[in-house]
Amino acid sequence: MPTADPLVVVGSGLAGWTLIREFRKLDGDSRIVLVTADGGDFYSKPMLSNALAQGKTAAQLVTTPAEPMAAQWKVTLLKGAKVSRIRPQGRRIELHGSEAEQPYAKLVLALGADPIRLPLTGDAAGEVLSVNDLNDYRIFREHLEGVETVAILGGGLIGCEFANDLAGAGYRVTVIDPSPYPLAGLLPEPAGKALLEPLGRLGITWVFGKAVQAVDRANSGCRLTLGDASTLPAERVLSAVGLRPRTALAAEAGLACKRGIVVDRTLQTRDPHIFALGDCAEIDGQVRPYVLPIMHAAKALAQTLAGQPAEVAFPPMPVVVKTPACPVAVLPVARDAAGAWQTEAGENGVRMRFLTPDGRLIGFALTGGRVAERMAMTRLLAS
């Protein structure tokens, strides 16, 4: 009797491993194949932006090596394997450098996202670093040896977290962003500006309203040329301007892709045998690249794959920004949401609530000591 084709998961980040763990709780016998371009070791990706001040190496960030996890969850692990093509009609994937094809009964794309690269000019543009995985972090640490100054392109969530972490590790940091204040894409202005002074006290210099156009080599490391032709020196440059979901494989296979791989609330693509999860997936027009949404989605998808169809339902899930000098928690609202922000500011931080015209709370932003109110406000939203 032929063996049934396996569940194939492509990607060994939080999304892939969480799905496997949740699936195994419901199905202890079905075959699982995990395809990963790296070694598959499990680590907390959010730790990448706050590990420097703790002196942690890339190896120290690994919480569980791939092999023990594969053994525990009865997974066939294909390490260092890159998918070159999905063949939906034959339910096969092709792997780079291999003539053999991997069949699947169901395929889950947990592909993650790539750092956005700015169109920089200059003879050092190719030396601008980004950190999106363990290997990136290892390379970044190596490039920081003997360095005192770092420029960060981007004052969003990742840029601010790295700025706080680098400053805490003793580096002089300059953050450059075309927006008028930190976290402008996530926070309303009073909350965003609350970060300026606390992080500034760490030695962080802010440059807002300008964008970097070119990065050239200079005696001190690099020279950054801004849009107004002014220049800034830095020994190393880190780009933290955002991530772009990996959609190329899905698009080439004929799956619908917009910002991410389009899926319904069961995480299914337009192909009933292919699903997408994590940073690469777009649900209801949104990409949710945060830990809690990924875990909720993985749990729902595990039920569906185990024969218990389930739609993911997202409760209110605030985003916590790891900036210890000025903690931040925010439950964002859509830019076109009807209502207004109410602001309270004091020595303990900023507390902002977004109320609809009928007085309902649908979002908040908290900084400093006010972050302690996060759970209580979340409960109010959920009630």
Q: Give pLDDT tens digits for 105-122.
A: 999 999 999 999 999 999
CA-to-CA distance for 360 and 303, rounded, in angstroms? 33
Annotate 304-326 with DSSP letters as a single string: HHTT------PPP--EEE--TTS
pLDDT for residue 342: 97
CA 336 → CA 205, 333, 356, 366, distances in Å?
32, 8, 12, 21
Say which residue the tokens 């439950």 belong to: 331
Q: What percent of the chain stands above pLDDT 70? A: 99
pLDDT at 138: 97
CB 183 within 8 A of CB 321: yes
Q: Hey, which residues does 353 pair with through a beta bridge? A: 342, 364
**How many angstroms separate the CA atoms of 275 and 300, rounded?**
12
Q: Name the band, by pLDDT with cuts 50, 70 and 90, for residue 226.
A: very high
- Name the strand (E) or helix (H) holding 94: strand 92-95
Q: What pairing do the DSSP bridges indicate for beta strands 328-331 and 319-321?
A: antiparallel
Mean pLDDT score across all residues of the chain: 95
- Give dist(CA 15, CA 278) in Å, integer: 5
pLDDT at residue 28 greater than cutoff 60: yes
pLDDT tier at 219 (50, 70, 90 boundaries)?
Answer: confident
Alpha-carbon distance of 93 to 82, in angstroms, equals 10
User: What is the model's pLDDT at position 3?
Assistant: 65
pLDDT digits (tens, 9 = 90+) for 122-153: 999 999 999 999 999 999 999 999 999 999 99
Statement: residue 84 has pLDDT above 90:
yes
CB contact set of 156 (below 8 Å; sequence gap of 6+): 177, 182, 183, 184, 185, 186, 240, 241, 242
Q: Sketch out the chain's domains with CATH numbers.
A: 7-114+243-305 (3.50.50.60), 117-239 (3.50.50.60), 327-382 (3.30.390.120)
Give per-residue pLDDT as tens, 238-277. Answer: 999 999 999 999 999 999 999 999 999 999 999 999 999 9
* Spatial separation of the C-alpha atoms in residues 67 and 284, rounded to whole Å: 35
CA–CA–CA angle 167, 170, 172 (5° rounding): 60
Q: How many CB atoms lie within 10 A of CB 68?
A: 11
Is 0.75 surpassed by the pTM of this model?
A: yes
For residue 324, give Cα distances in angstroms to 287, 348, 373: 26, 14, 16
What tokens appear for 129 in the block?
């670093």
